[in-house]
């Protein structure tokens, strides 16, 4: 069975690039009837925080990317990591290195002076028992280094990047356990992915340099090597790696800005993978069509204008009840009370308000007039529009016509208004503008026919009467 994973570190925000990686892992697993798993890589105890961990869990849950099994915490597997180090020591694939930080710096300075590649030169690879004991007697604590094999290169078939060949002489005997007994990243990742039975490691191409080290450790430990797929990073509009200077990079920033999770998922899938010419597609459609080998090799540039356009499309098609649930926290933060009456208005009307909305705050602003109670406090433009005798007379005449109507459906009200305009010998705007202001207290709102239907006969007539007093 295909098993993928997302493995973020709880040391800061959940970067949008990590989210895109999670998305590709999720979709690939689902496309192959597999499992998508999650692991919190919290071995950096100094920088890892419970708050950052919760942001990871909440952010991915918001996007519907909750793992199929319970989250795994890397620190809970510490004994497995230490056991793996011991196995490597016993097999002669690792060794103790007692060099002090000062000695390592002297070594590097000599390498710089001689124009050599900077790296550990293996001088403690073959210490005798006596030499080790001498260092121990000095009070030195060793690190454990992986012993590179006598091979020319590490080669693997990357699912996205095709064949990659990495010269082993570009590596040095890297540390797999620190002097304080804590294992390092490249070892714990290998052990955890093996324990979790991960079949495909899908991650950013900034990890390519780690892959040869990890493949060598898979082989040394006798583990099956998973398939690797290194996806390109996300760049800003200027072609540089996406960062705060380009705008939001944390996934919860996008939630706060008012993007819908399905729109963000759709957009991120489109960054590096395409479903033909389709810009907009559902998660189910993505899963049905996704092929990891079709992910682009090159980086993609993040474009907020495209995301805004796509989000607007999702807003237009969203269910009103769903939109209202998303707007609740925005209204609450604005101090607006959602009464049962206003909820009724909004569940009928939100779809009419999405025409010019790109994000949820735009929609909340467009719907704000429903919270107004007559008599309205009008701005100068609105006050002038209803202050004339013509406007008041028109509203009074329309009030009499509407009061006699029992059919309050949208289509019938539209016919009534059109007949009224014809009978009065006026243009529609001559009744539309004062009526809109009478019903909402503003000049910006949906069609007056829609407003009449949503507010209902009694409320509509009451508001018109107040405006003509």
Q: Is 297 a catalytic residue?
A: no
d(CA 51, CA 269): 27
d(CA 19, CA 264): 10
Whole-angstrom CA distances from 344 to 158, 338, 451 are 55, 10, 12
Query: Which value, in Å, is the radius of gyration of the alpha carbons in the chain?
Result: 32
In 210-279, DSSP assigns E strands to 227-231, 234-235
Contacts of 426 (CB under 8 A, 6+ apart): 394
Residue listed under structure tokens 């099956």 = 224
Strand-pair partners of 15: 250
| Catalytic choice (116, 141, 244, 381) | 244
- How many other CB atoms are found less than 10 A from the CB of residue 33? 8
Written as six digits, the tokens of 400 are 């009499």
Question: What letters, b where the CB count within 10 A reaches 16 and e where it falls short, cover 67-102?
Answer: beeeebebeebeeebbebbeebbeeebbbbbbbeee
> Is residue 125 within 8 Å of 173, Cβ to Cβ?
yes
Give the residue from 257, 269, 264, 271 showing the smallest Cα distance to 313.
Answer: 264
d(CA 73, CA 38): 9
Cβ-based burial of 401 (10 A; exposed 0-12, middle 13-18, buried ≥19): middle
Give the residue from 336, 345, 356 showing the smallest Cα distance to 439.
Answer: 345
d(CA 203, CA 232): 9
Angle at 345 between CA 343 and CA 347, to 5 degrees: 65
Catalytically annotated residues: 244
């Amino acid at each position: 069975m295909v098993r993928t994973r997302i493995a973020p570190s709880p040391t800061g925000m959940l970067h949008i690039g990590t989210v895109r990686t999670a998305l590709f892992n999720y979709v690939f697993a689902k496309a192959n009837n597999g499992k998508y798993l999650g692991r919190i890589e919290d071995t950096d105890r100094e920088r890892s925080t419970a708050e950052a961990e919760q942001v990871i869990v909440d952010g991915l849950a918001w996007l519907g990317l909750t793992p199929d099994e319970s989250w795994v915490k890397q620190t809970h597997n510490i004994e497995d990591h230490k056991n793996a180090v011991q196995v490597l020591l016993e097999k002669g694939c690792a060794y103790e290195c007692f060099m002090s930080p000062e000695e390592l710096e002297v070594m590097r300075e000599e390498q710089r002076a001689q124009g050599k590649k900077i790296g550990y030169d293996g001088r403690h690879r073959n210490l005798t028992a006596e030499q080790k004991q001498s260092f121990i007697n000095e009070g030195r604590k060793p690190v454990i280094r992986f012993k590179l094999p006598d091979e020319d290169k590490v080669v693997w078939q990357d699912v996205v990047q095709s064949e990659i060949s990495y010269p082993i002489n570009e590596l040095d005997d890297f540390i797999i356990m620190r002097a304080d007994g804590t294992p390092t990243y490249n070892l714990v990742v290998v052990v955890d992915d093996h324990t979790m039975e991960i079949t495909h490691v899908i991650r950013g191409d900034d990890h390519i340099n780690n892959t040869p080290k990890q493949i060598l450790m898979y082989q040394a430990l006798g583990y099956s090597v998973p398939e690797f797929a290194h996806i390109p990073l996300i760049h800003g509009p200027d072609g540089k790696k996406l960062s705060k200077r380009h705008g939001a990079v944390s996934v919860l920033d996008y939630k706060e800005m008012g993007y819908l999770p399905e729109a963000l998922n759709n957009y991120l899938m489109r960054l590096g993978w395409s479903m033909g010419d389709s810009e907009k597609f559902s998660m189910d459609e993505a899963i049905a069509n996704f092929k990891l080998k079709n992910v682009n090799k090159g980086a993609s540039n993040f474009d907020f204008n495209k995301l805004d356009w796509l989000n607007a499309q999702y807003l237009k098609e969203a269910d009103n009840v769903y939109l209202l649930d998303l707007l609740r926290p925005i209204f609450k933060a604005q101090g607006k009370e959602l009464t049962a009456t206003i909820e009724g208005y909004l569940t009928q009307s939100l779809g009419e308000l999405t025409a010019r909305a790109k994000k949820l705050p735009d929609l909340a602003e467009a719907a704000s007039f429903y919270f107004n109670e007559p008599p309205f406090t009008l701005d100068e433009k609105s006050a002038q529009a209803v202050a004339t005798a013509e406007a008041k007379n028109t509203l009074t005449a329309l009030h009499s016509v509407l009061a006699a109507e029992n059919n309050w459906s949208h289509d019938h009200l539209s016919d009534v208004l059109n007949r009224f305009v014809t009978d009065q010998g006026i243009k529609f705007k001559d009744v539309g503008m004062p009526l809109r202001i009478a019903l909402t207290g503003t000049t910006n709102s949906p069609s007056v026919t829609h407003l009449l239907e949503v507010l209902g006969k009694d409320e509509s007539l009451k508001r018109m009467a107040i405006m003509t007093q």
